[in-house]
Amino acid sequence: MPLQARSLTGSQSDSKPLASSQPIGAALGRKRNALLQFLFTFVSNWLLFGIFFVQGVILARCLGADGRGEFGTILFFPRDLLLYVGMMGATEVITALAGRYRASSGQLRAAGLRLGLLTGVLTIAVAVALAVVFLIPTGKGALLGLVALTALFLPLEHIQIVVSGVDRGRGDFFRYNLNRLFFGACFPLLLAAWFGFGGSSLWPGHDLEQVCLLFLASRVIGLIPTLLPHSRDAGEEGRSLENRKGGAVQLKATELLGIGRGYGWSMLASECFERLDVLLIVMLASFTEAGNYFVAIPAATLVTLLPNAAALFSFNAGNNPEFRPRPSRVLLLLLSALGLQALVGMGLWLVLPPLIATLFGGGFEMSIAFALWLLPSCALKGYLQFVDSFLKGRGYSMLGVWTRLVAIVVMLASVWFLFPSLKLFAIPAGALIGQSLVALVLSLFCLQVGPLGPRPTLEHEEAGHD
C-alpha cells in the first residue's frame, strides 16, 4: 500500500522563510555550516572505516582465518543481513519527521527509543530462525547458540540508529557523527584491551565466545551518549505534535512502522541483494575461505566512504520541498559520482594488496584476490547509496525494490553460470553484474524525478491525550 501524503496542523508552524527573504550574511552562514557538517561527516566516515578496519585486523590476529570465518558467520544474519532490514524504515521515518517538525525532537527521540526496542526484539527472532534454516543444512549448526546470544545486540543498535535519526533529520551532524564514532569504537577498544592485557587467559580455549560477549558489552556502553538528552530539547518543553483538532499526538510505534512501509520494503530489497554474496559464501565456503572473504569486505568497502557521507545529505536534499532538480544538473552529479568512484577504485586496486599482506599476515592470501574482485561492485554500491538516499528523500522509496528483486535473479543466474569456471570468485562477479543493472535503472529514474512524491507525515482524526 503506497504511503499517503498527509498534513499536520497546530504547533508545527516553525517552517523557515525562503532564503531569498533572509539576509545575505545569514544565507552564507548556513552554507558555510552545511559545508563544515559535510566535511565532518566525510572525515567521520573515514574514521569509522579506520575503526572497522582495525577491528578486522584485531579479530583476524586473535581468531585466525577459521575463527574469523566463524565469527563472521555468527554475525551474518543478525548484523549483516537484518540489522537495517529489521528496522523496517524506522530510521527514514524518524529522520524525515525530525527535519520537518523540529519543535518536537524530544518527543521524536522518545518515540525512536520505543521503536528501536520493538524492531530489535522482532529482528532477534527472525535472525535466529534464518540461522537455523541455513546453518544446519550446511553443517554449521554448532554455532546456533552463539548466534542467539550475539543477536541480543539488535535492540541496542536499533535504538542507537533510530534515535540518532533525530539529529540527522535536524541537520545536527556534529552530534550525530560523534555518537556513531563512539558507538563504533567501543568494540575494537574492548577487544584490544581484553586480549592485549591478558583477559583472554581467564577463559582459555574460548576466544570465540569471549569475542561474542565483548561485542555485546560494546553495544551497551556505546549506546549511552545517544540516550543523553539534547540541550535543544530542553528549550522545546511543552511544544508537541498536534492533530487537526488541537490534541497532542502520541507517536505509536505501530503507526510509525506503517507509514514507513515503503522505506522498509526498499531496505529489505537493497540489503537482501547486497548481502546475497555473503550468504552464498556462508553456505558454500569453508570457515577458512569465509574468513578470507570477511577480511576482504571492509578493505573493498573503502571505496564507498565518500558516497556514504554524501548520501546522508542527498536524503535531506530530496526531503526538501524547495529543492527543484533539473535533469541536466542531476545527470552531471551522477556522472561526477561515477567518475569519482572509478578513480578511487583504481587507486585502491594498487594499495590493497600490500596493505592486506602487511596487516593480516599468513593465512589470508586469498583475501587479496577477493578484495580485488569486490572493488568494482563496491564502487557501484557506494554510488547507489547516494542515488537511493535521494530517491527515498524525494518520496520514491519503492523504485529500487522491483529493480533489486530482478537483480537478485540476475545475480543468482550469473553465479550459477560462472561457478564451474570461477568457483567462489563467481560470487563477487555475479554481484557486479547485478549492481550494474540496478545502477543503470535507478540512474534513469533519478533523471525523471521532479516534484516531491508521497512522504511520511502524521494524521489523527481524533484528539490524542497527554
396, 449 contact by CB (below 8 A): yes
Q: What is the C-alpha separation between 244 and 259, in angstroms, rounded?
A: 18
Q: First-to-last CA distance in the chain?
A: 30
> Is the pLDDT score of 347 beyond 60?
yes
Rg (CA), the chain: 22
Q: What are the distances in angstroms from CA 121 to CA 103, 270, 374, 402, 460?
A: 30, 22, 33, 28, 27
Q: What is the C-alpha separation between 388 and 447, in angstroms, rounded?
A: 13
84-93, 145-154, 202-211, 307-316 — which is least confidently predicted? 307-316
Q: For 126-150, what is the mean pLDDT?
A: 95
What sections of 319-425 are H helices per DSSP? 327-360, 365-394, 399-422
Q: 66 pLDDT band (50/70/90 cuts)?
A: very high
Express as a percent the part of the chain with pLDDT over 70.
79
80-84, 162-166, 248-252, 290-294 — which is least confidently predicted? 248-252
Looking at residue 5, what is its pLDDT?
34
| pLDDT one-digit tens code per residue, 351-386 | 999 989 888 877 788 999 999 999 999 999 989 888
Q: What is the C-alpha separation between 56 and 33, in angstroms, rounded?
A: 34
| Higher pLDDT among residues 145 and 275, named by residue | 145
Q: 403 pLDDT band (50/70/90 cuts)?
A: confident
Q: For 216-235, what is the mean pLDDT?
A: 83
Taking Cα atoms as reference points, which of 378, 149, 384 lies closest to residue 270?
384
Q: 465 pLDDT band (50/70/90 cuts)?
A: very low
> Is the pLDDT score of 303 beyond 60?
yes
Give the three-class secondary structure for 248: strand
| Higher pLDDT among residues 35 and 365, named by residue | 365
| Dihedral angle over CA of 369, 375, 381, 386, nearest 10 | 150
127-131, 188-192, 309-313 — which is least confidently predicted? 309-313
Looking at residue 253, what is its pLDDT?
72
> Is the pLDDT score of 234 beyond 60?
no
Looking at residue 36, what is its pLDDT?
78
> Is the pLDDT score of 287 beyond 80?
yes
Supply 69's cell numbers: 570465518
| Higher pLDDT among residues 450 and 108, named by residue | 108
Looking up cell 512502522, which residue turns up? 257
| Higher pLDDT among residues 28 and 206, named by residue | 206
Looking at residue 464, what is its pLDDT?
38
DSSP code for 174: H
393, 98 contact by CB (below 8 A): no
| Higher pLDDT among residues 375 and 4, named by residue | 375
**Report for 124-133, 168-177, 245-254, 353-362: range of highest mean pLDDT:** 124-133
